[in-house]
Structure 1
């Protein structure tokens, strides 16, 4: 059995969670010694498709013509497309029709969570749908003092300064407006948002908010996985204010790095993340403003070990074992 990891237009998603998911799939196949390739000209039995571009549709058609099986990874829904790029709300219904067309090209669909699976089932798709986490490379995101020191040194931070980070595109859906507002209201803490989005796709109100003169707010841009690991290890709080997700790979990374986490209380995290057990949750700006000082000052329980154990269940070694069952299916 040989697997083709289709990487057409990977450059367009390499800085996103989808790009990270593809890298996780490769690592899982390596750990399980399953033959795999990026070259569609080689022989293969199963193709993984993670993107929804026209060339992905062509690949799924070509593979089926050759008698190959197609696993389509459903990373996107109409719900998490809204409030993302310029015009996303307007074209969201069209986007739903397009991803429905794409996903129907698969023999099976894999989506990261049961929450995402329920959404996709409402689309009346033809292939069977399975939920399987994107996974996390636990060994890579191990917390170290060296990583913390590198982060603090690079950004000229003293060991006493409290640092809050988030990771994601410059999208309203990701909670960037609340993140900026919290930085404004809590000047005693340093706020760093890691990530990049082409300015042509960023809505005007996001650009205006980002251009405000807020001395403790920083946008370092996109950094590689080694630097983002340093950021997790070197900061004091991971603030994930997303309004909609199919999973959230950066959240898994933060759990693996044993950093205190404050998330927005949204449906996807209702069953998986327990408030006061693995993370803390808030619904609105006033909630976040209340929780942040308490967490940074140690006035609430440290939940990082519980969160770490939760992330272990999604280690890519375990995900790979489940993936083999889908191959057999």
Structure 2
């Protein structure tokens, strides 16, 4: 089986959750017999693909399945070309109208038109893949005229090996001491930035957010406010070259995100045995259990109480962390490979019904 596995804007998305998910997919597929190509075009690009005489051959490179991970103009062109040539088309729904909001300046204004575009774009697919049942129900509400199948984003557990070795050096670099409450990923209000900042301001724990943030005109007012004048106990590190530095330095993973399709960084925190404090969202209820492998909170006071409980109870931190490790193992790359293989075979067979998964 030959699959075209395309990521538009690959360089720009290298530091994003989409980029990480695609890395996981490709690492998983590398352990299968599936042949993977990354460019959808003959000759490596759209110009080379279009040089052939009209009707002589498809501008698309030969593939049994086309799998697209982004919603941009090149991806749309590839999707339309695949449809025209009756090549089975899999679209991965990493983006929804809901999780686009509160991402950057103007994102809330654009969320409405984006929703209309996503409805049409995802409906081109023979099969839509998404990270969770929650995301599937969100897409169904648009509605999307295509079968939708959840598949975990997965976690590359091996990529976290040796994270403990980064603890001392990372803490020294960012002047962190004592119990460190931390987050990993891009700094957005949607990720719970204001809650994170207020909790830092109200407590005496060290807080650190490991991840890039916008500082130019594209930055939202909320991001500029917190990153330009944070509380004394809150550090925004910017991009870190090795994610193991973050998971080595931190003690309690705090993720008060407002909307999430799954949360790869949560799974990474769990894989390193960190107790996780999460907002009580349907997507987290789908994968995690309150009081077993995490603490789920609804209100600001509940978040603060959860941090205090964990600070005062090392045994609770250890128990939640050990259970979290087991949860993370359920999202191995083997599971990603199995899900992708089944999806490709089903669309080739012309039966991509979600009930087959």
Q: Equivalent of 2:156, from 137, 141, 145?
A: 137
Does residue 20 in structure 1 map to residue 20 in structure 2? yes
User: Which residue matches 2:48?
Assistant: none
- How is 1:1-329 mapped onto 2 (pairs within 5 angstroms)? 1-40=1-40, 41=42, 42-142=61-161, 144-157=163-176, 161-186=178-203, 188-198=204-214, 199-224=216-241, 227-298=242-313, 301=316, 302-329=319-346
Cα deviations by residue, 1:272-307 (Å, 9 ceiling, x for unpaired): 211100101211222111111221232662211211
Tell me by how many angstroms 1:166 deviates. 0.6
Superposition CA RMSD, Å: 1.8
Structure 1 unaligned regions, length at least 5: none
| Alpha-carbon separation, structure 1, partners of 2:86 and 2:223 | 47
Q: CA deviation at 1:328?
A: 1.1
Preserved contact between residue 8 and residue 69 of structure 2 (Cα < 8 Å): no
Partner of 1:293, secondary structure, is helix
Give the Cα separation in 2 of the matches to 1:81 and 1:213: 25
1:312 is displaced (CA, Å) by: 0.9
Deviation, 1:210, is 2.3
**Preserved contact between residue 236 and residue 296 of structure 1 (Cα < 8 Å):** no
- Offset, 1:105: 1.9
Distance in 1 (CA, whole Å) between partners of 2:143 and 2:230 is 48
Contact 2:134 2:261 in 1 (8 A): yes
Unaligned runs of 5+ in 2: 43-60, 347-357
Q: Secondary structure at the match of 1:270?
A: helix
**Separation of aligned partners in 2, 1:109 and 1:322:** 12
Using the TM superposition, give the Cα deviation of residue 236 of structure 1 relative to its aligned residue in structure 2, in angstroms.
0.5
Q: CA separation of 1:151/1:33 partners in 2, compared to 1, >3 Å: closer, same or farther?
A: farther
Q: TM-score, normalised by structure 2?
A: 0.85
Between the two proteins, the alignment pairs up a number of residues equal to 324
Give the TM-score taking structure 1 as reference length.
Answer: 0.92
- Please state whether the residue corresponding to 2:12 is helix, strand or coil: helix
8 Å contact 1:2–1:36 — kept in the other structure?
yes
